[in-house]
């Protein structure tokens, strides 16, 4: 069962990112930071990775304070095939429409953000990245170290010559070699004992599938509760928290260990969260 993102009832409000553009950065035509090979196919490259911020400097080659990488909250950009870009890692989730030319000219428009209050540093991170993305930018590939198969490195240079370096991490679609089926899963507040051939005292998440209609409203009767053998990539369970998740389900291919599940589950979005009584 799958639904488009716009039909999901996410419990937050969107607002224009314009109020966050408080850094007064001047938008002008972007200048390329390095010549690009004519064969660069930007869209598949952008879509095949999640791009984690490694460094951010301004036109004076000084670090942009609000965008200094944090190990606890890495700032990550993602690009989907439907022409939507997303930003996670600050206080809010930020998104917009993007277009990229054959020469690597990137434009982002219709920036929107969830509206949550966080510590000032995270709010400043949101404002800084939104202001930079509101400008025309030029993409260029950073050369990998000689003799290595390092992750791809991308440089994004804005119109006012601020420069971001981003490191590519393969998306789940890239790692598992194909598109996923979107499913909704409710995760019970507490793990349960489950039988595992290698771990007699194992505990598992308890899950059941949920359904939503075209308006994003819960519909039908939830499926039965059952233990989940394995984990959901990207999801960290907190005991006592009930969550409804939108999950990407991939079919594994190739030879698998006897105790390995035939599918892989990857967190796409947390739809609901509720703390329950002990």
What's the number of domains the chain is made of? Answer: 2
Query: Please, is 190 exposed, middle or buried when counting C-beta atoms within 10 Å of its C-beta (0-12, 13-18, 19+)?
Result: middle
Domain match, 17 and 101 both:
yes
- Residue 2 falls inside a structural domain: no
Same domain for 209 and 74: no
| CA distance linking residue 112 with residue 240, whole number of Å | 32
Better-predicted residue by pLDDT, 8 or 191: 191
Do 152 and 53 lie in one domain? The reply is yes
Tokens of 121: 């540093």
* pLDDT tens digits for range 166-177: 999 999 988 888
In terms of domains, do 165 and 271 share one? no
Identify whether the C-beta of residue 166 lies closer than 8 Å to the C-beta of residue 45.
no
Q: Are residues 40 and 143 both part of a single domain? A: yes
Is the torsion defined by CA of 41, 164, 126, 60 positive or negative?
A: negative
Q: What is the CATH number of the domain that holds 164?
A: 2.40.128.270
Cβ count near 259 (within 10 Å):
11
- 158 shares a domain with 235: no
Does residue 139 belong to any structural domain of this protein? Answer: yes
Domain extent at residue 202: 175-275
For residue range 213-248, list pLDDT tens digits in order: 888 888 989 999 999 988 999 899 999 999 999 999
Q: How far apart are CA 53 and CA 63, in angstroms?
A: 13
Listed ranges 112-116, 149-153, 238-242; the one with the highest mean pLDDT: 238-242
Whether the pLDDT of residue 155 is over 80: the answer is yes
Q: Band the pLDDT of 36: cuts 50, 70, 90.
A: very low
Same domain? 22 vs 138: yes
Q: Are 191 and 207 in contact (CB under 8 A)?
A: no
Among the listed ranges 14-28, 31-45, 68-82, which one has the minimum average pLDDT value?
14-28
User: Which of 121, 143, 170 corresponds to the end of one domain?
Assistant: 170
Measure CA 52 to chain center. 10
**What is the SS3 assignment for 108?**
strand
pLDDT at 4: 37
Q: For the CA atoms of the chain, what is the radius of gyration?
A: 21
203 in any annotated domain: yes
| C-alpha torsion 38→44→50→54, nearest 10 | 0
Percent of the chain with pLDDT over 70: 80
In this structure, of 22-26, 39-43, 130-134, 221-225, the range with the lowest mean pLDDT score is 22-26
Better-scored residue on pLDDT, 181 or 19: 181
Of 141, 170, 199, which residue constitutes the final position of a domain? 170
Are the C-beta atoms of residues 178 and 48 closer than 8 Å to each other? Answer: no
Residues 17-49 as b or e (16 or more Cβ within 10 Å = b):
beebbebebeeeebeebeebeeeeebeebbeeb
Last residue of a domain, which of 120, 139, 170? 170
Q: Are residues 82 and 158 in the same domain?
A: yes
Q: Specify whether 57 is located in the same domain as 83.
A: yes
């Amino acid at each position: 069962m799958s639904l488009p993102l716009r039909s999901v009832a996410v419990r937050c409000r969107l607002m224009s990112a314009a109020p966050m553009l408080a850094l007064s950065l001047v938008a002008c035509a972007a200048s390329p930071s390095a010549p690009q090979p004519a064969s660069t196919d930007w869209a598949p490259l952008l879509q095949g990775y999640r791009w984690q911020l490694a460094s951010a400097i301004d036109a004076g080659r000084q670090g942009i304070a609000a965008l200094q990488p944090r190990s606890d909250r890495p700032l990550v950009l993602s690009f989907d095939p439907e022409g939507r870009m997303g930003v996670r890692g600050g206080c809010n989730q930020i998104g917009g429409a993007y277009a990229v030319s054959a020469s690597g000219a990137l434009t982002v428009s219709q920036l929107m953000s969830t509206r949550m209050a966080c510590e000032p540093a995270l709010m400043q991170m949101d404002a800084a990245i939104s202001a930079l993305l509101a400008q025309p930018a030029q993409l260029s590939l950073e050369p990998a170290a000689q003799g290595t198969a390092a992750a791809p490195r991308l440089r994004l240079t804005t119109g006012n010559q601020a420069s971001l370096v981003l490191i590519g991490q393969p998306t789940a679609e890239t790692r598992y070699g194909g598109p996923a089926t979107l499913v909704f899963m409710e995760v019970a507040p507490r793990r349960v004992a489950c039988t595992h051939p290698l771990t007699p005292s194992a505990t598992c998440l308890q899950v059941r599938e949920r359904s939503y209609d075209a308006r994003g409203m819960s519909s039908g009767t939830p499926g039965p509760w059952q233990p989940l053998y394995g984990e959901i990539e990207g999801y960290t369970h907190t005991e006592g928290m009930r969550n409804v998740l939108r999950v990407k389900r991939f079919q594994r291919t190739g030879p698998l260990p006897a105790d390995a599940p035939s599918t892989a589950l990857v967190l796409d979005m947390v739809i609901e969260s509720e703390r329950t009584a002990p």
